[in-house]
Amino acid sequence: MDIKPDNLLVDSSLSSILICDFGSAQWATSYRTINSYLASRFYRAPEIILGIPYSFASDCWALGCVFYELYTGQILFQGGNSNEMLREVMEVKGPFPKRRVLSRGVFTSTYFDEDGLFMECGKDPLTQRSIVRKYIVKSPKKHLLTMLKQHSPNPNDPKECRKLGQLADLLEQMLDLDPEKRITPTQALKHAFIVER
């Protein structure tokens, strides 16, 4: 599916949400062609970019991005292309697991070398020539809880802090870099952020 805020409809009582635009939806049992441009870029799961067979976990990733955006009013990952998207994802989530994720991607070699170093594409500021910088990501530079607190109207309120912690935990699970470890929709509906008032 193409889950993003533009494809969510809310009724006037704010009690129901409908998903629209099923243009890229597929039956769960159907063969899926690997396509790195499936779904809208800002909500596209990294496994799609890397060319790993996708599943419902890709929709959970997109929903995690939407939840963040609904709370903060800002798009979580704003890369201008797939290379920038992966860099931004790693700034928040850290390095991709080499064996469980990178080794499975058909397009991994476009973004990572054989040692797992990320190949960041850019332009030389003086010559404007395309350049590639290789580097290893050891840990996240940003943390979801800190990012959420920056948008909180009451970051010091104990109740608000508890809910923000729960939201950050849910987002961490929805945005797990390994799609096989990502929280499922059923598990997400039982998460404290959803069930506690």
Q: What percent of the chain has a predicted confidence (pLDDT) above 90? A: 73
The CATH topology of domain 5-195 is Transferase(Phosphotransferase); domain 1 (1.10.510)
Annotated active-site residue 113? The verdict is no
- Confidence (pTM): 0.87
Cβ partners under 8 Å of residue 164, min gap 6? 145, 148, 149, 152, 155
pLDDT tens, position by position, 7-53: 777 888 878 877 777 666 665 555 456 777 677 999 999 999 999 99
Report the mean per-residue pLDDT for the chain.
Answer: 91
- pLDDT at 8 (0 to 100): 77
Domain ranges of the chain: 5-195
Mean pLDDT of the 158-167 span: 96
Mean pLDDT of the 121-139 span: 92
- pLDDT at 26 (0 to 100): 60
- pLDDT at 13 (0 to 100): 83
pLDDT tens, position by position, 66-116: 999 999 999 999 999 999 999 999 999 999 999 999 999 999 999 999 999
- pLDDT at 16 (0 to 100): 81
DSSP 78-106: --SSHHHHHHHHHHHH-PPPTTTTGGG-T
Q: Which of 2, 21, 113, 176 is catalytic?
A: 2
Mean pLDDT of the 147-164 span: 94
Higher-confidence position of 24 and 188: 188
Higher-confidence position of 123 and 86: 86
CA distances 125 to 78, 121, 130, 135, Å, are 21, 13, 10, 19
Pick the closest to residue 183 from 195, 169, 197 (CA basis). 169
